[in-house]
Amino acid sequence: MDKKSKKFLEEYLNNASPTGFETSGQKIWLEYMKQYSDTYITDNYGSVAAIINPEKEYKVVLEAHADEISWFVKYITDDGYIYVARNGGSDHIIAPSMRVNIHTEKGLVKGVFGWPAIHVRTSDKDIVPTSDNIFIDIGCSKKDEVEKLGVHVGCVAVFQDELTELNGKYLTGRALDNRIGGYMVAEVAKRLRENKVKLPFSLYLVNAVQEEIGLRGAEMISRKIKPNVAIVTDVCHDTSSPLYDKKKQGDQKCGLGPVLTYGPAVQNNLLKMIIQVANKNKIKFQRAAASRSTGTDTESFAYSGEGVPSALISLPLKYMHTTVETVSKEDVEKVIELMYHFVINLKSGHDFRYIK
Ligand SMILES: [Zn+2]
C-alpha cells in the first residue's frame, strides 16, 4: 500500500456513510476514482460507477458497497433521551458505552449510548441490551433542547471510531464492511492505470448504496448498467476467531486469502475462471458454500435483467458489525491481485453459458 492509497483509505474509512445517507462517502470515492477512470455514472439513490472505456459494448463490473450500518433516531423522551431503530444489521449488544455522531442538518451532534452501572444490576441477566432499551444521551434534559441541536426523528447515528492497525498486520475499524471493498476496487483501477493496461471492454467500478438493508443499491445500478459479467466483493466471517461454530458457519480464516463462494447465484463457469486465475498467479484462496443466497450484492447482479454471470470474492473479516471489524492486510492485497488478474485475463465477448 503506497502513501497515496493509504491516505485515501484513511479518509474514506473514517468518513461515515450510513445506509440511505451515503453521499459524503460516495463523493470521496468518486473524486479519488476520477484519476483512474474515464467517466462515471450515478443514479437516483446514490450508487456510483467509475467507468474505464465507456465506449465498448461488453461490460464488466467490479462491485463493492458503500453503505454502513447505523441507528435511526426513533423516539425522543420528554427528558431528552433518544431511543433508536436499527438501520441495517446494527448490534444492540455492543451499543452501551459507545460514542456516536448524530448526523443533522446543523452538522454532527455528539452523543453516547448510556447504560446503568454494574453496581445496580443484581446479575448479568437482569438488564441486558436489547434493540428496544438502548438509548442515546446527547447531554440534554428536555426534548426541545434536543430539537434545538438539530436532532429529530429520522436522523441517523453512527458509532464514533477510526481506523487503526494491529501488529502491523491487521486493519481494525468501523465499517470495513464494506468500505474496504470500495478501496480494493479502487486499487484495481489504480493498478490498471499505472500499468498502462488497455482493456478490450468497458470496466465499471461500482460502489453501490443500501446493501445493508437488502442489497437494494446493487439491484438498481445493475439494471442501469446491464453488465455482461459482474464480480462482487464483500466481507465474510472469519470463523476461526473465538465463539464461532465452523460446522454451522464454515471454515474461513483471516490471513489465508480471498474466499470464493459456491451458491446458486454464483455462475460456475465464471467461478472456474476465477479459480484458474488464482492458481496461475499463485494466489491462495479459501472456499465457502452458501445455502440459497450469499447474502451479498451478488444476488442483485445475478438476478437482474436476463441473468448476469456473477461471482463473489470475499475478504475474511473478524467481528462483523462491531466498531472493531478486523481484516488481514495481506488478504486485502490478495483480493486486489485476484480481481486485477481476472480483469486482465478476461477476453471481451466471453460467453459464460453452460449450454451453447
Ligand atoms: Zn454488513
How many beta carbons lie within 10 A of that of residue 278, not counting itself? 21
Spacing of C-alpha 266 from chain mean position: 19
Identify the band that residue 259 occupies on the pLDDT scale cut at 50, 70 and 90: very high
Tell me, in angstroms, the distance from the centre of ligand 1 to residue 115's CA. 25
Residue 122 has pLDDT above 80, yes or no: no
Q: Quick one: cell of 244?
A: 464461532
For 273, half-sphere exposure in the C-beta direction (CA atoms, 13 angstrom radius) is 24
Mean pLDDT, rounded, of the chain:
97
Tell me, in angstroms, the distance from the centre of ligand 1 to residue 177's CA. 5
Tell me, in angstroms, the distance from the centre of ligand 1 to residue 16's CA. 14
- Return the residue matching grid coordinates 456473477: 310
Tell me, in angstroms, the distance from the centre of ligand 1 to residue 295's CA. 9
Tell me, in angstroms, the distance from the centre of ligand 1 to residue 256's CA. 21
Residue 123 has pLDDT above 90, yes or no: no
The three-state secondary structure class of 167 is coil
Residue 120 has pLDDT above 90, yes or no: no
Q: Give the tens place of pLDDT for each residue, 166-188.
A: 999 999 999 999 999 999 999 99
Tell me, in angstroms, the distance from the centre of ligand 1 to residue 324's CA. 13
Residue 335 has pLDDT above 90, yes or no: yes
Backbone angles phi, psi at 47, to 5 degrees: -70, 150
Give the separation between CA 196 and CA 184, rounded to whole angstroms: 18
Tell me, in angstroms, the distance from the centre of ligand 1 to residue 306's CA. 27
DSSP-H helix ranges across 197-322: 216-225, 246-249, 268-280, 297-302
Higher-pLDDT residue of 143 and 127 is 143
Note the pLDDT of residue 124. Answer: 64
Identify the band that residue 121 occupies on the pLDDT scale cut at 50, 70 and 90: confident
Tell me, in angstroms, the distance from the centre of ligand 1 to residue 344's CA. 29
CB-neighbour burial class of residue 356 (10 A; exposed 0-12, middle 13-18, buried 19+): exposed
Tell me, in angstroms, the distance from the centre of ligand 1 to residue 89's CA. 7
Tell me, in angstroms, the distance from the centre of ligand 1 to residue 71's CA. 14
Tell me, in angstroms, the distance from the centre of ligand 1 to residue 355's CA. 35
Tell me the average pLDDT across 280-291. Answer: 97
Tell me, in angstroms, the distance from the centre of ligand 1 to residue 284's CA. 24
Tell me the average pLDDT across 66-83. Answer: 98
Identify the band that residue 126 occupies on the pLDDT scale cut at 50, 70 and 90: confident
Domains defined along the chain, listed by start: 3-68+174-345 (3.40.630.10), 70-159 (2.40.30.40)
Identify the band that residue 1 occupies on the pLDDT scale cut at 50, 70 and 90: confident
Tell me, in angstroms, the distance from the centre of ligand 1 to residue 298's CA. 14
Tell me, in angstroms, the distance from the centre of ligand 1 to residue 148's CA. 33
Tell me the average pLDDT across 251-278. Answer: 98
Tell me, in angstroms, the distance from the centre of ligand 1 to residue 175's CA. 8
Tell me, in angstroms, the distance from the centre of ligand 1 to residue 212's CA. 5
Identify the band that residue 85 occupies on the pLDDT scale cut at 50, 70 and 90: very high
Using alpha carbons only, what angle is made at residue 17 by residues 11 and 23, rounded to the nearest 5 degrees? 95
Tell me, in angstroms, the distance from the centre of ligand 1 to residue 202's CA. 28
Tell me, in angstroms, the distance from the centre of ligand 1 to residue 159's CA. 15
- Return the residue matching grid coordinates 453488465: 227
